[in-house]
Amino acid sequence: MKLQVAVIGCGNVSAVHFPPIVESKAAELVAVCDIKPKRAQAAADKHRVPWFSHYERVLELKPDLVHICTPHHTHAEIAVAAAERGIHVLTEKPMAINLADADRMIRTARKTKVKLGVIFQNRYNPASQAVYEAVQEGALGELLGCRLFVTWCRLQHYYSLSDWKGTWSEEGGGALINQAIHTIDLMQWIMGDVASLQGSVANRAHPEIEVEDVAEARILFKNGAVGSLYVCNYYTYDADCFLEIHGTEGVARLEKERAIIRVKGRPERIIACEGAPGLGKPSWGASHKTQIEQFHRSVLNGSQVEIDGASGRKALEIVRAIYYSSSLKGESIPFPFQEPAGFNPPPLG
């Protein structure tokens, strides 16, 4: 039996969702959807399936699952509507723009007994896996700290050409929730649960938008380690993402899709991940296919989704806690973070 799959949202990121579906022996693309008819029709013509401009029409077809590749603020609405119809959901990051919506997605999926997955494909890169395994095996010893840098370039036209980016209500933020959330997810996945954090955000180079273009945070983990985070999107180019894990017995670094692991008394290890040609931007990694295939298998055989709603929520919790800490002038925020109802960061631009 093949899974009947629909893709909702035919923008940039859909380019890495379509190949794993149409090339799969276990799945069949049955419909595409985008609020921009020309974009939906182009995808439909390419893949020879029906197209729609309203997601409700897709849900009426009752596919087995939908891939959500739409703007951030629409993820929760579409996911909840699909789950209420018994349709499994795989959504792009961030799963929502606030924790209340994320929790609504998780509750609905549990109530209706459907699978909910969140795309954080870089966990599947061989370099990420190697660092994670080194930490899990104790090769780095007791974890002492980590540092995270994402310094990219987003010029004015990046926002002016979009009808949703650069806003709290639709993008949900800026450099943190969009550009850095993948690396933040890798950090929390490898380092473990957060105990508390202090952070701040600002807008220093993009007066045309209302969200942050720079952020920093000090993160305390439950294991006692200390994290240092710095993110901006006004650098001169998209520099390689950087995540370093420091332990009593060694250091592991993730630089883009390469890992360098140095453990006392052992030869240095370098693990590289070669990008799949034609599958999106290099910064996305090459592992959408791996995660999508895993999610499809979980639907077919009833196994656990590896990055489910609860797992995908963790990076969002860190992002939202930094926003809240910043609104309180850097006050320490304990975890689990109880986001106040209706909290919205103030415009920064």
- Other Cβ atoms closer than 10 A to 340: 10
Rounded CA-CA distance 288/114 in Å is 21
Phi, psi (5° rounding) for residue 50?
-65, 155
- Total domain count, the chain: 2
Strand 194-202 versus strand 143-151 pairing type:
unpaired
Domain edge (last residue) among 96, 121, 146? 121
pLDDT of residue 279: 57
Q: What is the pTM of this model?
A: 0.96
Q: Are residues 129 and 235 in the same domain?
A: yes
Q: Judge contact between 21 and 43, C-beta under 8 A.
A: no
Q: Are residues 204 and 99 both part of a single domain?
A: no
> In terms of domains, do 127 and 253 share one?
yes
Any domain includes 63: yes
Q: Are 109 and 17 part of one and the same domain?
A: yes
> Per the domain annotation, does 261 fall within a domain?
yes
198 strand-pairing partners? 218
Query: Which residue reads 């990055």 in tokens?
Result: 307
Q: Are the C-beta atoms of 263 and 94 separated by less than 8 Å?
A: no
Q: Are residues 47 and 168 both part of a single domain? A: no
- Residues 189, 82, single domain; the answer is no
Q: Which residue range(s) make up the domain with 255?
A: 123-281+309-334
Q: Would residue 134 count as lying in a domain?
A: yes
Task: Indicate which CATH number applies to the domain containing 225.
Answer: 3.30.360.10
| Statement to judge: residues 163 and 258 lie in one domain | yes
Q: Retrieve residue 230's tokens.
A: 């710095």
Could you tell me if 177 and 65 lie in one domain?
A: no
In a domain, 295, yes or no: no
Of 85, 91, 83, 90, nearest in space to 114 by CA? 83
Residue 64 sits in a domain of what CATH number?
Answer: 3.40.50.720
pLDDT in tens, the chain (349 residues): 899 999 999 999 999 999 999 999 999 999 999 999 999 999 999 999 999 999 999 999 999 999 999 999 999 999 999 999 999 999 999 999 999 999 999 999 999 999 999 999 999 999 999 999 999 999 999 999 999 999 999 999 999 999 999 999 999 999 999 999 999 999 999 999 999 999 999 999 999 999 999 999 999 999 999 999 999 999 999 999 999 999 999 999 999 889 999 999 999 999 987 654 445 555 555 799 999 999 999 999 999 999 999 999 999 999 999 999 999 999 999 999 999 999 999 889 7
* Same-domain status, 111 and 62: yes
